[in-house]
Structure 1
Amino acid sequence: MLTERSKRLRSLINCSIFAAVTAILAQIEIPLPLIPISGQTLAVGIAATVLGSRHGAIAMLVYAAIGAIGLPVFAGFSGGPQVLVGPSGGYIFGFIATAYITGLILEKTRFSIPIALIANIVGMVVTLIFGTIQLKIVMDLNWHAALAAGVYPFIPVGLIKAFLASVIGITVRRRLVQAKLIGATQGEVA
């Protein structure tokens, strides 16, 4: 039987693992003029689907914090506070909210691939809202230009990543619940 301290330690380890996965997937990128398409959002979706709202958000907070102190974990091996206040910083802040909201949808409904897909699409929208608002402000763009640079290019690939995050996330979550490495919710069979 795991003690409460062991459970907390395991949760922190899981959050750290998903922060590291996000840093790794961030380096897979397709350059665009202002904001690159990267694997970060795929990692956010997987983290939220596997860990749920609270721990998914903590994992993204850890990711943002280690990037903020200068470790090169953001897209293109970048890091530092200038990234967070730059054109792409809103997306990174959005990852925290996205992980929380995506995980919360799953916790309030059930952990299944169709529900995870809906939750990850909602999460994609949350990330795009945060990112586009900061992009507009930092680059002094009008809304049309901000949407053209910060939303439209990301929709098709975002839908693909939402699907992948749902399938991968639910599969990994089920295995971790079976192995008792994460706790099951009421609707899940352990």
Structure 2
Amino acid sequence: MEYQSRKLRFILHCAIFAALTAILAQIEIPLPLVPISGQTLAVGITATILGSRKGAVAMVCYAAIGAVGLPVFAGFSGGLQVLVGPTGGYIVGFIVAAYCIGLILEKSKFTVPMAMVANTVGMVIILIFGTIQLKFVVDLEWNKALALGVYPFIIVGLIKAFLASWIGMTVRNRLIKAKLSILSSKNVA
């Protein structure tokens, strides 16, 4: 019975944060190929609160529900064509970034400065995955891919890394203080 309860909580926590990502994805500033959206903020918040494993699973859930066609990606888009299109690399990067952000925090101390470092690393991972796919799908030279897929997002990305760190650690600390099971070390897949 306890196993079933832990498994259900694990699924619910991942689903809640996948939904948060879908909601924040709709906050968008359009740019030529790749919009600025709240998705990356959600990735950082998710990983900072849930950690590596749950954070990555939440992002897999988010990518999967978008891949089957639900309009959860930026601009209320969805479908497999988004994942294989010019911006799909960023979404794949969310999974890797969430895992790495959580892992960095699990291996160090859960503090806002450490969360800022972890979320900055996560931002870089997302930009790398996104730019590589953008370059090959649109058939761009590297300098053009960087100009479209990285440079416009550096300042905004650092701001989002700070916000994700601050929000994530604030929520995480309140959950710990309230002794809520969302941060249980007994994760179940």
Same fold (TM over 0.5): yes
Report deviation, 1:181. 2.5
The correspondence of residues 102-117 of structure 1 with structure 2, limited to 5 A, is 102-117=101-116
Distance across 1 between alignment mates of 2:137 and 2:64: 21
The correspondence of residues 114-133 of structure 1 with structure 2, limited to 5 A, is 114-133=113-132
Q: Report the TM-score when normalising by structure 1.
A: 0.94
The correspondence of residues 168-187 of structure 1 with structure 2, limited to 5 A, is 168-179=167-178, 180-183=180-183
Q: Is the 8 Å Cα contact of residues 119 and 164 (structure 2) preserved in structure 1?
A: yes
Report deviation, 1:59. 0.3
Q: Is the 8 Å Cα contact of residues 31 and 37 (structure 1) preserved in structure 2?
A: yes
CA deviation vs aligned residue, 1:9-29 (integer Å, no higher than 9, x gap): 112111100000000000000
Partner AA of 2:55 in structure 1 = G
Q: Percent identity?
A: 71
| Greater RCO (CA < 8 Å, at least 6 residues apart) | 2
Report deviation, 1:135. 0.1
> Once superposed, what is the RMSD of the aligned Cα atoms?
1.1
> Could you tell me which residue of structure 2 aligns to residue 136 of structure 1?
135
Unaligned runs of 5+ in 1: 186-190
Question: How many residues end up aligned between the 2 structures?
Answer: 184
The correspondence of residues 74-85 of structure 1 with structure 2, limited to 5 A, is 74-85=73-84
Q: Is the 8 Å Cα contact of residues 177 and 184 (structure 1) preserved in structure 2?
A: no
Q: Report the TM-score when normalising by structure 2.
A: 0.95
Partner AA of 2:93 in structure 1 = G
Report deviation, 1:183. 2.9
Distance across 2 between alignment mates of 1:26 and 1:52: 21
